[in-house]
Structure 1
Amino acid sequence: MLATMEIVDVLDYSESIGKMVMESEVMQNYQQAKQDLESDADAQKLIRDFNNMKEQYEDVQRFGRYHPDYNNIMKSVRGVKREMDMHETVAHYKKAEREVQKLLDEISQSVAFSVSEQIKVPRNGMVFTDSGCGCGSGGGCGCAS
């Protein structure tokens, strides 16, 4: 019975942390940036253009440099992406998104390190890459020396 109450307490604490995150200034900024992005017609057009270009890019990737339009599509994708990324509303949204990710990473690290300093915690929204192979085992899989 004691273990069950401990689990209920942990779940209650995690729910309260979730509520604090949702009510935080960082999350409020993110929600506002998301709403601004969704209501900005120019930004939405740039996103659609980028997604359309990305489909062409994926077709080209199947054949690589041997595709007849490889150079044109590659240049176009970079140009459309740059234009989208440079749009003020998109840039503001991406910045707010990174701030939320940073907050979540800090919370994860705090919780993990309160248990043990040996627990590996993803940083910057990335999965574990200690061994260079990306599997997260820290080299235990034998894929990196």
Structure 2
Amino acid sequence: MVTETELEILDQIDALNEKIRQTEAYRHYCKYRTLLEQDEEVAGLIDQFTRLKMDFEEVQRFGKYHPDFSTKRREINQFKKKLDMHPVIMEYRRAEYQLQEMLDEVLYHVSISVSSHVNVVSSNPFFSVSSDSGGCATGGSCGCQSAG
């Protein structure tokens, strides 16, 4: 059973979601996602990369001792660079990063408004709520933080 408070929170989440969809970062991301999906040249490059990757994975099973290991690895790395340098893919990745950065910041602000001890999961170290490290046996290398 959903309470009135939970319904209000869900309504506020919907409103926040709508505000995010109105941002330039979101529109830019959608534009390049559509271009990425519709560009035949990009689709061909991605298909070719996928085939190269599958070929390399087959060779990689035997490690560096396979006679084609170095050749296949060099071939896939060169093609990956070509793929990454395509203007549509470059702009898509930039837009994706900017949108993710904005979402991380929104999550951070929502989290700290609930509690200053909330662990915010983000690859961006700026959003680390607590300066304490540790919390597990790895000394904090896993990215967790103690409740401090």
* TM-score in terms of structure 2 length: 0.80
Greater helix content: 1
Change (3 A) 1:26 1:138: same
Q: Segments of 4+ in structure 1 off by > 6 A?
A: none
Higher mean alpha-carbon deviation, 96-105 vs 41-50, is at 41-50
Shift of 1:16: 1.2
The equivalences for 1:33-44 within 5 A come to: 33-44=32-43
- CA distances 1:83-113 after superposition (whole Å, capped 9, x unpaired): 0000111101110111111111111101101
Report the equivalent of 1:123: 122
The equivalences for 1:1-145 within 5 A come to: 4-124=3-123, 131-132=140-141, 134=142, 136-138=143-145
Shift of 1:10: 0.9
Alpha carbons 1:27, 1:100 under 8 Å: kept? yes
- CA distances 1:16-50 after superposition (whole Å, capped 9, x unpaired): 11122222221111111111122222222211111
Between the aligned partners of 2:29 and 2:82, the Cα distance in structure 1 is 22
Q: Which runs of 5+ in 1 are unaligned?
A: 141-145
Root mean square deviation of aligned Cα = 2.6
Alpha carbons 1:37, 1:90 under 8 Å: kept? yes
Shift of 1:67: 2.0
Query: Secondary structure of 1:111's match?
Result: helix
Task: Report percent identity of matched pairs.
Answer: 29
* TM-score in terms of structure 1 length: 0.82
